[in-house]
Each structure stands twice: as C-alpha cells, then as structure tokens.
Amino acid sequence: MTGQFVTIERGLGPDGRVAVVRFDRKDGINALSHRAMTELRDAARSFDDDLDTSVVVLTGSAKAFSAGFDLKDPDGLKRDALPIGERIQRQRLGPKMCKAWQEMDQVTIAAIEGHCIGGGAALVVSLDFRTCGRSAHFRIPEVELGMNMSWGSIPRMLALMGPARTKQAVILASDRIAAADALDWGLVEKVTEDGQAFVDAFAFAERIARQPPIPVRMTKSSVNRLAHALDDLAAHMDADQNVLTGLTEDYREGTQAFREKRKPKFRGR
C-alpha cells in the first residue's frame, strides 16, 4: 500500500514477519490532515487478515513524528461551518484511526523522533510500545486551544502513566514532556540516541517476530482486554465534547491566540 502520506513495507525481518508503516508529509511537521488520518486508519485496517505479519513498526519522518491535528487543513476548516451532527461525525475520524491501531492483532511499536504533539501523542498511546530519540518531546496542547483531549486518548494515557501524570500532561498544555520525563512517567518504554529510534524499534520488532505468532497474538489480546476494559465508558462522548468545546468563546480565543503566536486569555465562556 502506498498513499500520498503513508507507505507500507511488508515481509521484513525474521521469516518476513515484520512490517513498517511510514508516515511522512515531507515537510518536517507531519500534521494530521483529514487525508493523513484516513491513510493511517486504512493502513492499520489493511493488516486485518494478515496472518504473515507479527509486528508492525510505525514511524514518522526523521525530524518529526507528528505535530498533531492540522489546524490549516481545508477539510478541517470546513468542519466548523457544518451542522452539529455532521461535525460530530467528522470528528470521529481521529478516534477511528487510533482505535484501528489499538485493535490490530499484530504487536505495534512506535518509533518517535522530534516532536509528537496532540493527535500524534493520541496515536502513539494507541500502540503497544514506544521508542523515542533523546531529543524527542511530547505535548498535549488541546486544553490551551480551548478543547478537550479526545480520540480516546485519556484512558490510554491513564493506563500508561496513572491519574496524576495524565492530568498533568493534559491540563498543563504548554509544558513539553521531554524524552527522559516520558520514560520516567511511563509514556514511552525506551529512549535511544537521536536518529536511532527506528533502528531500536525495528530490533525490538525482530525479537518479537522470532516468538511463536499465535500465543503472541493471544497475549496481546488478553492484556488489552483487561487494560482497556473501561475505555469505551470513559471516552464514548469524546467527539460530542469536542464539538461542544468548539462552540465556546474560549475555543475561538485559544485557536486565534495559537495562530497569532500569543498567550490566550480564557474566560470560561
């Protein structure tokens, strides 16, 4: 599969059991436009009937994993003018993308260099493992834009980091989470030298690919069912909350301040 922004390589590693999905918009930013999210969702779904692949490595560009949702995407800008029902439906693309990655039978590993922001962070916490370069950083800016953090990511972050760190990461939206802190908090499993995240992630994938495929899949399924049993209960109104916050004055102030590169002034309206 080759899309405008996403490519898939299969048949790699031991017995051809490793695949690599590359997301690269060739701009050093790697924002998640409607097209990019569709391609990433479809890439995950393309493994549904693939019994030959045991592990999938997802990587961004050499400079950035993702800057998150593309606020300049023409398709995204149209959303604000749509009726509420249509806005909620369009808002479900991000959650569907993340859920497609979480529900893959294959073990999934994210290789992260540079920034991993907002929707990018929501995507990587949908995977099983995360390896990042030493200079990589994470940020969850949605609250400072006047929005809720959605895409089902809060329950996933909670499972990784616990309640206090999840609140800190989401509420203190301007704070960068450095690679060392991400490791300490449980947001990533390994920090490596810059430029080596993919190499280390692929080496880890090869180790998993050498294991017997059937019990590996069974183990992932059992762990995920236990760890994420209440996710739907916690996140089923994500899209509705996002549309609701998008109607507030604080949302307009937050996004305008972002575009004008200034600090927002929120009024709780």
pLDDT at 267: 87
Query: With 70 as the cut, is the pLDDT of residue 60 above it?
Result: yes
Q: Does domain 6-194+233-260 correspond to CATH entry 3.90.226.10?
A: yes
Query: With 90 as the cut, is the pLDDT of residue 13 above it?
Result: yes
* Domain ranges (residues) in the chain: 6-194+233-260
More confident: 81 or 32 = 32
Query: With 70 as the cut, is the pLDDT of residue 80 above it?
Result: no
**Selection from 24, 111, 110, 6 nearest residue 61 by Cα:** 24
pLDDT at 261: 82
pLDDT at 64: 94
Give the 3-state secondary structure of 154-215.
Answer: HHHHHHHHCHHHHHHHHHCCCCCEEHHHHHHHCCCCEEECCCCHHHHHHHHHHHHHCCCHHH
pLDDT digits (tens, 9 = 90+) for 181-222: 999 999 999 999 999 999 999 999 999 999 999 999 999 999
Local confidence band at 263 (pLDDT 50, 70, 90 cut-offs): confident
pLDDT, mean of residues 14-42: 95
- Rounded Cα distance, 55 and 202, in Å: 9
- The 8-class DSSP code of residue 52 comes to S
Q: What is the pTM of this model?
A: 0.89
Q: The tokens 């899309």 sit on which residue? A: 3
